[in-house]
Amino acid sequence: MSVITDENKNRGGGSNPPPTVELGNLRLSNSPGAKNRRDMDNNNIKMGSLQELHAMIKDKDEKIRKLQKQVQEKDDEIANLRSQLDKYQSVLPQSLKATTGGRRKQRAQGISAEPRGALSSIQDLANTKFKKHSKSER
């Protein structure tokens, strides 16, 4: 986060003093001129810091461009893969229906009940003789 302050207000400077920008521990100022050797050294340090800041911004911009290029390449790859997937899905369902046939096995359907007219009451059932089979015949 940057903070802009007016250093020259405390010095009794002009009506519109140049601002000082602070970025963390980096302090940049745009003072109109240096009055002594100490001010000249401070301005050189500030200009060096300003150049470093410009270099950092340039590096970050380059990194952003590279990342944007990678994102664009990935988006293109995704679009290509989606296109291929749509193409395969348009062909695949027809072949899947032919091979699977819906169910895995065709099963016969039947009804497990006695015929209506064969045994009409419980008494008929009790009187009916069923054939006995021994276990050895099975």
Helix (H), strand (E) at residue 86: helix 37-100
pLDDT band, very low/low/confident/very high, at 70 (cuts 50, 70, 90): very high
pLDDT for residue 46 = 62
pLDDT for residue 79 = 95
Gap between the terminal Cα atoms of the chain:
92
Q: Quick one: the chain helix, strand, coil %, rounded to 5? A: 55, 10, 35
Average pLDDT of the residues in 64-77 = 97
pTM value > 0.95? no
